[in-house]
Amino acid sequence: MPRGRIIVESKVRELLPEGMRLASDALDGLDAVVREIVRKAVQRCQANGRKTIIKEDF
């Protein structure tokens, strides 16, 4: 899997309330969490004999 970030910083910043700041290492942590969630969804999908991830896999 490529190691570039899979999240978009500007989109994450749009979610923050006015005055809230975001440290650059927070994005690395968020990226790691998202990667783990996707990895688990892939496992659930495969365990159910499917090749398409559905919302219930998350």
Per-residue pLDDT at 1 exceeds 80 = no
What mean pLDDT do residues 19-25 have? 92
Mean pLDDT of the chain: 94
Per-residue pLDDT at 2 exceeds 70 = no
> For residue 24, which of 39, 34, 40, 13 has the smallest C-alpha distance?
13
**Rounded Cα gap, residues 36 and 38, in angstroms:** 5
Q: Of all helices (H) and strands (E), which one includes residue 24?
A: helix 24-47
**Rounded Cα gap, residues 7 and 10, in angstroms:** 9
> For residue 38, which of 24, 55, 50 has the smallest C-alpha distance?
55
What mean pLDDT do residues 11-39 have? 95
What mean pLDDT do residues 23-52 have? 96
What mean pLDDT do residues 35-55 have? 98
4: three-class secondary structure by DSSP:
coil
Per-residue pLDDT, 24: 81
